[in-house]
Chains A and B, each alone.
Chain A
Amino acid sequence: MVTAFPQINFVVDEALNQQIATARKQERWTPTANAFARLLKWLDSGTDSQGQRYEEMRDRLVAFFDRKNCASPDELADETLNRVMKWVEEHDRDYDEEPAKICYNTARFVFHESLRKPNYVSEDISDLPKPPAIDPRKIAALEEEEQGKEKRLTCLQGCSQKLPADDRDLIVRYYYGEQRVKLDNRKALAAERGMTANALSIKACRIRDKLRDCVTKCVCE
C-alpha cells in the first residue's frame, strides 16, 4: 500500500483503515494511502519512526479529547488527523517545523466544533442532572465486576509473558512499592541500567501502554 514506507507495519494499515472509516462516517474527505504516507513522513520530520510518531500523536490527541471529557476521543483524534492529512496533501508538505503544533491547533478546532454538536455529552459530574446522582465509583466498580477482574489478571499474566524478560523485570520494579519505596526502586533501577530518570520513565510508560493495550484486547476476546 504505502510504497514510500515498505517497513511500516500493520499497525499503520490499521490506522489508515480507521482514518478512512472515520472520514466515511462523517461523509468528508477520504484519505488515500498516498496522503497517509505523506502524513507519516511529515510527522517524522525527515526521520523514519516506522509509524511510531503517528501512534504517539494519535495517543496524545485521544488523551487530549478524553481530558476534555469528549464522548468519542478516538473519533475526534482521527478526525483531527484526517484534517491534518488533507492539509498536508493540499499544501504539498513533506516537512514542517512544528507538525505537532499544527495538530494541536487542528484539534482545538475539532474540539470546539464537537461542543456545538448535539451528540456531545460531557460526563463531568457537575454537568449531570442532580437526581439521580451517579457515583462514578459505582460505575467503575460495576464495570470492573462485569469485565471480570480475574480475567483481566489472567490476561495481564499472559501479556507479560509476551514481553522480553528485561522489559518485564523493568516494569515490575518500576511500578512496585509505595511512594518512598517506589522512588528508591526507580533510582536504583536507573543507576543499574545506566539510564536517566527521564529515559527510564519513558521506557516504563511505553511498556505499560503496550501491556495495557494487550490486556484490553485480551479481555475483549
Chain B
Amino acid sequence: MSTSAIEQTPTPTSAATSRRRRGALSSLLVYLAPLAMFLVLMVATPDVLSRTGIMSLLVLSAVLGIAAVGQTWAVMIAGIDLSIPATIGMANVLLTTLYAKGWSFGEIVVLLLVLSILIGMANGVLSSIFGLHPLVVSLGVASVVTGGVLISVDGNTGGDVPGFITNAVSPRGSVLGVPLPAALVVWVLVAVVVVLVERRTVIGRQIFALGSNVTAARLALARPMLIRVFVYSAGAICASAAGVLLAGFSGGASVDIGAAYLFSTITAVVVGGTSLLGGAGGYARTIAGVLVTTEFTTLLIGFSVGPNMQQVMLGIAILVLITVYGRDRHVAHRL
C-alpha cells in the first residue's frame, strides 16, 4: 500500500508544483505591470507626473474599474456582458434628464437600482432557461435598454448634472477635506467589497464553481440561475454608477456615452489575466488590468495618437494577450 502511494504521487505532484510556481509568477507580473507601465509613462510623457495628471489617470481608472466589475464576474462564470455600455448610457441619460425635471438624486438612484436589477434578471434568466449564450442575450438586452431609454425621453437626452457629480470626477475634488476625488474613493470601496465577496462569501465561491463546471456546481448545491442573476445585476448596478460618474465629465448626456466601455472593460479583464473560459481570475487582477489599460491609453494620447489609432493599438494589445493566455490554458488542459 505504501509503495503504491510512493509510485503514484511524484509525477503529478512535481508538475503541479511547477505549475503553481508559474501561476504565482504570472500573478506577480500582473500586479507589477501597472508600476512598470507607470515608469514608461514617466519617461515618455513627464508632464503626466503632475498631481493633476496622476489624479486624472486615477479618476479615469475609477470609472473604468467600476464599469469592469460586471465584465469580470460575467467572464468568471464563462459568460460575457455586452449590455454594460447600454446600461452606462441609460444611467447617464436618466440622471441628467430626470435631474433637470426636478427628481432628487436619491430618487434617481433608487430608479437606477431597480432598472439595473431588471437588466441583470433579464440577462441571468434568459441565459439560463433557454440555454442561450450570454453574448446573444446581453446584446439583445442592450438593444432593448438603449431603445427604451430613447423612447422614454423622446430622444431628448440633454439635461442637468448635480454639482457634486462634477466635483466627484474632478482631479482637484476632495472628500471630507481629504484631497481625493470622490470617484476614486467610491472605486476603492467598490473594489474592497467586490474582492471580499469573491473570496469570503458563499456566492463568491459559487461564482468560481459555476465558471469552472456547471454540472458539478449544480451537484454541489449552487443555483446557476440565481448566481447569473446576481452577477449580471451587480454588474448592471456598477455600470449604472459608472454612467452617473461619466455625466460629471461632460455635463451633457448621450445613450452612446458607454460605447467605448465594451472594449475597454474586456481589455481590462483580459489584461488582468482572468481566463475567458471562466472559473479563474478575479477582480483584484482586473484592478491591475484597469490601471494598465488607462496608462496605455494615456501614453497613446501623450504621443498624440488619435482615438482611431488608439482603437487599433488596444485591439492589437488584446489579441496578443489572448493568444498568450489562451496557449497557457491549453497546456493546462492537457494534464
The answer to whether A and B assemble together is: no
Residues of chain B at the chain A interface (Cβ within 8 Å): none
Residues of chain A at the chain B interface (Cβ within 8 Å): none
